[in-house]
Amino acid sequence: MAEVEYTSNVRIERIKGPLRRAYLPGEPQPVMFSVHGDIAKHYGVDESRLPEPHAATIDYVVAALGG
């Protein structure tokens, strides 16, 4: 078995509802995740009650795959 090359140390804090703060390696400031638009609608989240709308985790996955 090969040795582990890299371990990503990530910390996630839930703020309220779907709003989360992620501490990622290589980023000097935390990254905010939440829901928005059709994603909020799909999960039954009233956007007017969100503390802050932000990109969802799936948005980051799509961006990473596209890069």
Residues 19-51: tens digit of each pLDDT = 999 999 999 999 999 999 889 999 898 888 887
CA–CA gap between residue 56 and residue 18 (Å, rounded)? 9
CA–CA gap between residue 34 and residue 55 (Å, rounded)? 6
**Residue 67 predicted with pLDDT over 70:** no
**Residue 52 predicted with pLDDT over 90:** no
Q: Which residue has the higher pLDDT, 10 or 46?
A: 10
On whether residue 40 sits in a domain, the answer given is yes
On whether residue 1 sits in a domain, the answer given is no
On whether residue 43 sits in a domain, the answer given is yes
CA–CA gap between residue 57 and residue 30 (Å, rounded)? 14
On whether residue 6 sits in a domain, the answer given is no
How many domains is the chain built from? 1
Q: Residue 16 belongs to what domain range?
A: 11-66
Tokens of 53: 């709308």
For 1-67, strand residue ranges (E) read 11-16, 19-23, 31-33
Greatest pairwise CA separation for the chain in angstroms: 51
On whether residue 2 sits in a domain, the answer given is no
